[in-house]
């Protein structure tokens, strides 16, 4: 790849080698002879970071000189994965580094695997934040990511006897070579206490918050470099520290444990990522985490603003703050508090600045995932914020009444406070009211937002809701994950495919009809499948046939994502392969991976079922090699990078209306897998671009799902009675065929499907079965399958996160000149 953006160095390979050896000696403290592989990784990472720093400091100087608008992306999660190849590749140093290390007998590709995944997120929402950071650096948007530096990221998943077991994740055990600790960048964040009202010398009424407890937020910066070193931004993560390391008085009095208890309480805030995905965490610690990072981030950005501009009145012109879901939505109240209480702006002015600076991205319509906090908890933990929220609410409701809106139901639905059994603060409504832009993450999801969660607020503020369909960064999900396909694309489309895939990838379409090209495409896929088969052999001791159809569903385990539908199909296929000898079955491998929230029992049972089905199928000789089932443990970004290039079929089968967007659907299509899916989330827009004839779309639409639920006329008993195939599958599960050690294990699950099929698994089963037969039909028509696969790659350019970020920057942030 070209390096024209780098300072020319006469011999870049030699220079890189020298840089690495210097880091090895002076930062790691080892010589080449005694260095472990991990020492090498650290030296390479540190040398790479130096290259970024030069760009970084330049960029900061330029931003200050030009007074460029800054974007602040607040997210409780950043699912980053490994950074080594990301950084090297974007700096144009990948081949240089590989050659430099080869000269000292070190294999860069082996060193790569030693880096732990930075798993500071649960799934799609956190991964989106990571893709956005990379795209913002690529597009030259001056951006700062803000989040929490969790000591323990998402748990490590072990599978023991088929059950998920959660183990502590320890990504920081060997330190983190990418980050800069900033001990001088530290803010006090307070909790609890009380508020007193005083009248100041000018006769103004002022509220003074006297908190009971204060912790320190210490900054750690990780530079994020864009493609071809376009620009470097910082991801600033906060670590919680106690205000005093040790309570010396108590220690001296002999209370050794009590003396450190406060330290432990303070530091627990950044100890561990909440593993709940899409469900309400409902914990005081969670609210403390949210306020902790929001408060530190807002103080930091206001300080930066004031150091460059003498006034806060131009804040919306110079700063845009994006809230990734409701997790940072306490920012509405905290920004008001800072502007009114600390910077002494009048309320109305502060409100105008707040609304014009903040914008909010909604990620889910699931009612259990809409955050709300008990008023009593807010009053205890954040008493001044609770006052501010009440005031915002009063102004809001008064304004509506002044417009002549008195309808009780309307006022109740748009209120910030949910009345009823125990009053709660609705964080979604708070984020909506405090933002000038509220966006959904796919066209369908945005439409459903207008029609469901925010119907009434949308009617009052029809301009605010807009759509920004998610995207993925092609640098990670194509260049790094699939170098063979990337190379093939470069050969046929030129390097433009690296720089502007949105314009260049469509030029691949004519190659879909060229047998010679398809042959190369097939060879690439086979290579990736052989590599994945080796990984499965090594980790699970299961042998896969690389010529079988690789049918893949990898994502968080959640009932709405319907891994269960896929498993029911797997069982039905197993039964059919054994019984229906007259049919020609295409050899197939069902691949599953994903984590379940530790407290989500039904999801954990689904993992157990996948493993029970796998054990049965894989050990049954009558299957004749036509079906294998694997559940790969510990799904994370790195595992996704290995699995996705090897997939032939991508499973995106959520109950329509429930998946806000999905992003793995885009990763798979970009790499040339065909999608079997419902018309849900971004699948809808994918089908408009890729063409229905190149996907397998099945099942109820969101509207049909809605009609069934409303009419309350959905009866899965009838669906089961009408489908002998489904009935047979359920009978086998119920009678313990797959759980001989505990025959009753799946009785509850089958009962649930029969009497309370909330995710319409049974309703879609037959349509899914039929779609899977179409999959096999096309798979057998080899050349037609691969033509469709090439077209999937050619038509996925629009789903680049560069396009998404360009839309945010233009429509919401006004940050691209």
Ligand X SMILES: *Cc1c(COP(=O)(O)O)cnc(C)c1O
Q: Which residues bind ligand X (CB under 6 A)?
A: 123-124, 127, 555, 636-637, 640, 662-664, 667
In the numeric block, which tokens belong to residue 185?
């960048």
Catalytic residue (choose from 23, 144, 288, 363): 363
Residue pair 548/589 in contact (Cβ under 8 Å)? The answer is yes
Catalytic residue (choose from 239, 667, 787, 795): 667
Distances (CA, A) of 588 to 212, 574, 733, 775: 61, 11, 22, 11
Closer to ligand X by Cβ: residue 354 or 664: 664
Closer to ligand X by Cβ: residue 221 or 277: 277
Closer to ligand X by Cβ: residue 123 or 657: 123
Closer to ligand X by Cβ: residue 277 or 300: 277
Catalytic residue (choose from 663, 675, 678, 804): 663
Residue pair 45/84 in contact (Cβ under 8 Å)? The answer is yes
556 catalytic, yes or no? yes
| Interatomic CA distance for residues 162 and 610, integer angstroms | 8
Please report how close the Cβ of residue 561 comes to ligand X at its closest, in angstroms.
7
Tell me whether strands 156-160 and 163-167 are parallel, antiparallel or unpaired.
antiparallel
| Interatomic CA distance for residues 687 and 16, integer angstroms | 45
Contacts of 108 (CB under 8 A, 6+ apart): 44, 97, 98, 101, 102
| Interatomic CA distance for residues 76 and 81, integer angstroms | 16
Residue 472 is given by DSSP the state B
Distances (CA, A) of 754 to 719, 744, 762, 768, 770: 9, 16, 8, 18, 21
Closer to ligand X by Cβ: residue 82 or 464: 82
In the sheet with 649-652, reading across from the earlier edge strand, the strands are: 627-632, 588-593, 549-554, 649-652, 674-677, 696-697
Tell me whether strands 649-652 and 674-677 are parallel, antiparallel or unpaired.
parallel
555 catalytic, yes or no? yes
| Interatomic CA distance for residues 804 and 817, integer angstroms | 16
Please report how close the Cβ of residue 377 comes to ligand X at its closest, in angstroms.
30
Closer to ligand X by Cβ: residue 124 or 428: 124
SS3 153: coil
SS3 417: strand
Residue pair 131/475 in contact (Cβ under 8 Å)? The answer is no
| Interatomic CA distance for residues 5 and 547, integer angstroms | 42
Please report how close the Cβ of residue 686 comes to ligand X at its closest, in angstroms.
12
Closer to ligand X by Cβ: residue 140 or 677: 677
In the numeric block, which tokens belong to residue 72?
């602040």
Please report how close the Cβ of residue 794 comes to ligand X at its closest, in angstroms.
21
561 catalytic, yes or no? yes
Catalytic residue (choose from 561, 595, 608, 745): 561
| Interatomic CA distance for residues 319 and 302, integer angstroms | 9
Closer to ligand X by Cβ: residue 441 or 457: 441
Please report how close the Cβ of residue 359 comes to ligand X at its closest, in angstroms.
23
Closer to ligand X by Cβ: residue 135 or 231: 135
- Cα 411 vs. chain centroid, distance in angstroms? 34
Please report how close the Cβ of residue 172 comes to ligand X at its closest, in angstroms.
19
* For the chain, the helix, strand and coil percentages under 3-state DSSP, each to the nearest 5: 55, 15, 30
Closer to ligand X by Cβ: residue 88 or 552: 552
| Interatomic CA distance for residues 88 and 86, integer angstroms | 6
Please report how close the Cβ of residue 637 comes to ligand X at its closest, in angstroms.
5
Please report how close the Cβ of residue 655 comes to ligand X at its closest, in angstroms.
14
Catalytic residue (choose from 555, 562, 595, 734): 555
Catalytic residue (choose from 241, 556, 608, 628): 556
Please report how close the Cβ of residue 127 comes to ligand X at its closest, in angstroms.
4
Residue pair 645/768 in contact (Cβ under 8 Å)? The answer is no
519 catalytic, yes or no? no
Closer to ligand X by Cβ: residue 127 or 228: 127
Tell me whether strands 372-374 and 358-361 are parallel, antiparallel or unpaired.
unpaired
Closer to ligand X by Cβ: residue 278 or 372: 278
667 catalytic, yes or no? yes
**597-605 — which CB contacts under 8 Å span 24+ positions?**
597/275, 597/276, 597/277, 597/279, 598/155, 598/166, 598/275, 599/276, 600/279, 600/557, 600/558, 602/559, 602/749, 602/752, 603/557, 603/558, 603/559, 604/163, 604/164, 604/557, 605/745, 605/746, 605/749
Q: What is the dihedral of CA 85, 87, 91, 95, to 10 degrees?
A: -20
Please report how close the Cβ of residue 142 comes to ligand X at its closest, in angstroms.
26
Q: What is the dihedral of CA 402, 408, 411, 413, to 10 degrees?
A: -170
Residue pair 763/716 in contact (Cβ under 8 Å)? The answer is yes
Please report how close the Cβ of residue 255 comes to ligand X at its closest, in angstroms.
45
In the numeric block, which tokens belong to residue 164?
């998920």
533: closest CA among 523, 521, 547, 519? 547
Please report how close the Cβ of residue 150 comes to ligand X at its closest, in angstroms.
16
First to last CA, the chain: 28
In the numeric block, which tokens belong to residue 311?
């006034």
Please report how close the Cβ of residue 386 comes to ligand X at its closest, in angstroms.
35
Closer to ligand X by Cβ: residue 297 or 469: 469
| Interatomic CA distance for residues 381 and 68, integer angstroms | 37
Active site residue ranges = 363, 555-556, 561, 663, 667
């Amino acid at each position: 790849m070209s390096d024209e953006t780098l300072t020319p160095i006469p011999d870049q390979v030699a220079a890189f080698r020298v840089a690495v050896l210097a880091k090895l000696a002076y930062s790691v403290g080892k010589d080449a002879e005694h260095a472990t592989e991990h020492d090498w990784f650290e030296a390479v990472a540190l040398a790479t970071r130096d290259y970024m720093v030069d760009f970084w400091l330049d960029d900061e100087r330029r931003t200050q000189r030009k007074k460029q608008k800054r974007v602040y992306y607040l997210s409780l999660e950043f699912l980053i994965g490994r950074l080594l190849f990301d950084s090297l590749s974007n700096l144009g140093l990948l081949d240089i580094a590989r050659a430099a290390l080869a000269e000292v007998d070190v294999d860069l590709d082996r060193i790569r695997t030693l880096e732990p995944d930075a798993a500071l997120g649960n799934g799609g929402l956190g991964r989106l934040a990571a893709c956005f950071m990379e795209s913002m650096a690529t597009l030259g948007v001056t951006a700062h990511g803000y989040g929490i530096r969790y000591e323990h990221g998402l748990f490590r998943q072990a599978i023991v006897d088929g059950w998920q077991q959660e183990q502590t994740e320890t990504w920081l055990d060997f330190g983190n070579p990418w980050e800069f600790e900033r001990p001088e960048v530290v803010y006090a964040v307070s909790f609890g206490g009380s508020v007193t009202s005083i009248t100041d010398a000018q006769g103004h009424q002022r509220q003074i918050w006297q908190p009971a407890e204060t912790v320190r937020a210490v900054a750690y910066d990780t530079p994020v470099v864009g493609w071809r070193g376009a620009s470097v931004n910082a991801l600033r993560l906060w670590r919680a520290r106690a205000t005093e390391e040790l309570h010396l008085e108590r220690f001296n009095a002999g209370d050794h444990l009590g003396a450190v208890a406060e330290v432990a309480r303070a530091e627990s805030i950044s100890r561990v990522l909440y593993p709940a995905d899409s469900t309400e965490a409902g914990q005081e610690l969670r609210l403390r985490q949210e306020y902790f990072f929001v408060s530190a981030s807002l103080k930091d950005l206001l300080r930066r603003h004031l150091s460059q501009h003498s006034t806060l009145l131009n804040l919306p012109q110079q700063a845009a703050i994006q809230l990734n879901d409701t997790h940072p939505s306490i920012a509405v109240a905290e920004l008001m508090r800072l502007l009114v209480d600390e910077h002494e702006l009048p309320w109305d002015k502060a409100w105008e600045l707040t609304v014009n600076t903040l914008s909010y991205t909604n990620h889910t319509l699931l009612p259990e995932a809409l955050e709300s906090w008990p008023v009593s908890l807010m009053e205890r933990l954040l008493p001044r914020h609770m006052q501010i929220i009440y005031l915002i609410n009063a102004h809001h409701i008064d304004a509506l009444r002044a417009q002549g809106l008195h309808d009780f139901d309307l006022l109740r639905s748009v209120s910030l406070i949910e009345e009823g059994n125990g009053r709660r603060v609705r964080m979604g409504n708070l984020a909506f009211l405090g933002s000038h832009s509220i966006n959904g993450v796919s066209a369908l999801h945005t439409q459903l937002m207008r029609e469901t969660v925010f119907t009434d607020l949308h009617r009052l503020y029809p301009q605010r809701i807009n759509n920004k369909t998610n995207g993925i960064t092609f640098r990670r999900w194509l260049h790094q994950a699939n170098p063979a396909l990337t190379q093939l694309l470069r050969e046929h489309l030129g390097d433009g495919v690296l720089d502007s895939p949105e314009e260049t990838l469509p030029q691949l379409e004519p190659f879909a009809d060229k047998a010679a090209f398809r042959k190369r495409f097939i060879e690439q896929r086979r290579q990736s499948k052989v590599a994945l088969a080796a990984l499965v052999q090594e980790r699970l001791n299961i042998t896969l046939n690389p010529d079988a159809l690789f049918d893949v569903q990898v994502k968080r385990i959640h009932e709405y994502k319907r891994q269960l539908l896929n498993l029911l199909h797997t069982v039905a296929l197993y039964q059919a392969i054994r019984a229906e000898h007259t049919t020609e079955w295409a050899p197939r491998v069902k691949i599953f991976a994903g984590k379940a929230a530790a407290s989500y029992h039904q999801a954990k049972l689904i993992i157990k079922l996948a493993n029970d089905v796998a054990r049965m199928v894989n050990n049954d000789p009558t299957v004749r090699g036509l079906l294998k089932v694997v559940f790969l443990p510990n799904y994370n970004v790195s595992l996704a990078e290995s699995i996705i290039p090897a997939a032939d079929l991508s499973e995106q089968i959520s109950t329509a209306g429930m998946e806000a967007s999905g992003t793995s659907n885009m990763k798979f299509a970009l790499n040339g897998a065909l999608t079997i899916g419902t018309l849900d989330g971004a699948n809808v827009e994918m089908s408009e671009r890729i063409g229905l004839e190149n996907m397998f779309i099945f099942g109820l639409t969101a509207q049909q799902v809605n009609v069934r639920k409303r009419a309350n006329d959905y009866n899965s008993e009838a669906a089961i009675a009408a489908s002998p195939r489904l009935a047979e599958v359920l009978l086998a599960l119920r009678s313990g065929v797959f759980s001989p050690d505990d025959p009753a294990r799946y009785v509850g699950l089958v009962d649930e499907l029969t009497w309370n099929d909330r995710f319409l698994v049974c309703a879609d089963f037959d349509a899914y079965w039929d779609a899977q037969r179409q999959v096999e039909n096309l798979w057998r028509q080899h050349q037609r399958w691969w033509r469709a696969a090439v077209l999937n790659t050619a038509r996925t350019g629009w789903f680049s996160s560069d396009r998404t970020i360009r839309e945010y920057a233009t429509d919401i942030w006004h940050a691209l000149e």
